[in-house]
Amino acid sequence: MKKVTITDIAKLTGYSIKTVSRVINNAPNVKEETRRKILQVIEEHNYSVNLLAKALRNSETRTVILFIDRRKGKYWNEWHDLMLKSIMVKLKDRGYKVILSPSSGEETISNDTDGFHLLKSGLADGAIMFDVISKDCRVKYLRANNIPFIIIGKDMDFTDTSFVDLDNYLVGFIGAEYLINKGYKNIVFFLGPKVFNVNRDRAQGFEEACKKHGVTHSVFYGISTIKGIYEKTHELLSRATVDAFFISGDEKALGAYRAIREKGLKIPEDVAVLGIDNLPSSEYMYPPLTSIDQNVEKFSDQAVNLLIEMMHSKEKTPKRIILTPRIVERQSV
């Protein structure tokens, strides 16, 4: 059976295509009775707007693609979850459709099942990138093809891209200073893989604060799982005197909590734990986890606003928004 088009509805109702279009789009200046009649025929014939045709006409699909890291979910944490959820809700509220596309910054763009071909073919208007690495091939591709996109995080390769980022240097810095001011003198910082810009920035801020105050410290990259943190915490507590763990990614603090307890130590009397992300669940750890907040709401708000602005304006002056982290004090430090 052939698809019902706006022309069919026009013929069936006896009104013009234009009037039907107005009804579909809830445009003003249609007599109530006309609107009702047309809506009834639309219902009877199960008509819905052809999105392809509409996109062709408007040069706009009102679809946004969210690129997330594909690599076995290895670097995917709860913070991503919260951010995605928040961004999706905000885009939907603004009338955009959302497509999730797993991809990776290290692979070449060759797979036509991913979002890149949709964007290049005009089947989506813009993109939001997560987990950007240096020399990210996805960023190169979007830039080269003049596709509006923003990065969640920092771009070190280009100066003309737009992004929203947390001041991750400051995250490391204020985290270290907070621990130091509370009297801790031997601090360990656990982070994910070094390839991600965010981790290097955090480590740099941390190290500079520790040096400034002459405090013993060490940084461990590439510890991405709760299990990894658990094992490393055990090991460190067995052979060194550590009195504070600073952990990138609240959910991983669970691993440290258990190792610390198993060593017969108390949080925060013997050992402090400071997280990053301020996840909703962190409040219910025992003791409640002190954490550095990323403000997911504000973050996603800025990201969505920036992208929509980019998709609608012709001139593309890059915008870079840096958010300030804030410590949420609970009872683990």
Partner DNA sequence: CCCTGGCAGCCGAAGTTCTT
Partner DNA sequence: AAGAACTTCGGCTGCCAGGG
Q: Which stretch binds DNA (CB under 7 A): 26-34, 89-97, 128-136, 199-207?
A: 26-34
30 part of the interface to DNA, by CB under 7 A: yes
DSSP single-letter state for residue 133: B
Which residue's CB is nearer to DNA, number 27 or number 100?
A: 27
Which residue's CB is nearer to DNA, number 18 or number 261?
A: 18
Provide the strand spans (E) within the chain: 63-69, 97-103, 126-129, 149-152, 162-166, 186-190, 216-220, 244-248, 272-277, 290-293, 320-323, 326-328
Residue of 55, 71, 177 lying closest to 119 (CA atoms) = 55
314 part of the interface to DNA, by CB under 7 A: no
Rounded-to-integer distance, Cα 257 and Cα 250, Å? 11
3-class DSSP assignment, residue 275: strand
11 part of the interface to DNA, by CB under 7 A: no
| Shortest reach from residue 315's CB to DNA, in Å | 18
34 part of the interface to DNA, by CB under 7 A: yes
Q: Which stretch binds DNA (CB under 7 A): 50-58, 96-104, 184-192, 218-226?
A: 50-58
145 part of the interface to DNA, by CB under 7 A: no
Assign 3-class secondary structure to 136-197. CHHHHHHHHCCCCEEEECCCCCCCCCEEEEECHHHHHHHHHHHHHHCCCCEEEEECCCCCEH
5 part of the interface to DNA, by CB under 7 A: yes
Rounded-to-integer distance, Cα 281 and Cα 18, Å? 53
Q: Which stretch binds DNA (CB under 7 A): 56-64, 102-110, 153-161, 183-191?
A: 56-64
DSSP single-letter state for residue 83: H
| Shortest reach from residue 14's CB to DNA, in Å | 7
Q: Which of 39, 44, 56, 253 binds DNA (CB under 7 A)?
A: 56
Q: Which stretch binds DNA (CB under 7 A): 6-14, 148-156, 287-295, 309-317?
A: 6-14
Count the neighbouring beta carbons within 10 Å of the beta carbon of residue 37. Answer: 15
62 part of the interface to DNA, by CB under 7 A: no
295 part of the interface to DNA, by CB under 7 A: no
| Shortest reach from residue 312's CB to DNA, in Å | 14
3-class DSSP assignment, residue 230: helix
Q: Which of 11, 45, 57, 211 binds DNA (CB under 7 A)?
A: 57
DSSP single-letter state for residue 11: H
Give burial (CB, 10 Å; 0-12/13-18/19+) of 123: middle
40 part of the interface to DNA, by CB under 7 A: no
Encoded tokens for 315: 């001139």
31 part of the interface to DNA, by CB under 7 A: yes
| Shortest reach from residue 56's CB to DNA, in Å | 4
Q: Which stretch binds DNA (CB under 7 A): 22-30, 110-118, 163-171, 234-242?
A: 22-30
146 part of the interface to DNA, by CB under 7 A: no
Q: Which stretch binds DNA (CB under 7 A): 9-17, 128-136, 263-271, 290-298?
A: 9-17
Q: Are strands 244-248 and 290-293 parallel, antiparallel or unpaired?
A: unpaired
Q: Which of 122, 183, 222, 318 binds DNA (CB under 7 A)?
A: 122
3-class DSSP assignment, residue 134: coil
290 part of the interface to DNA, by CB under 7 A: no
Rounded-to-integer distance, Cα 251 and Cα 78, Å? 7
Sites of contact with DNA (CB under 7 A): 3, 5-7, 14-19, 21-22, 24-25, 27-32, 34, 49-50, 53-54, 56-59, 122
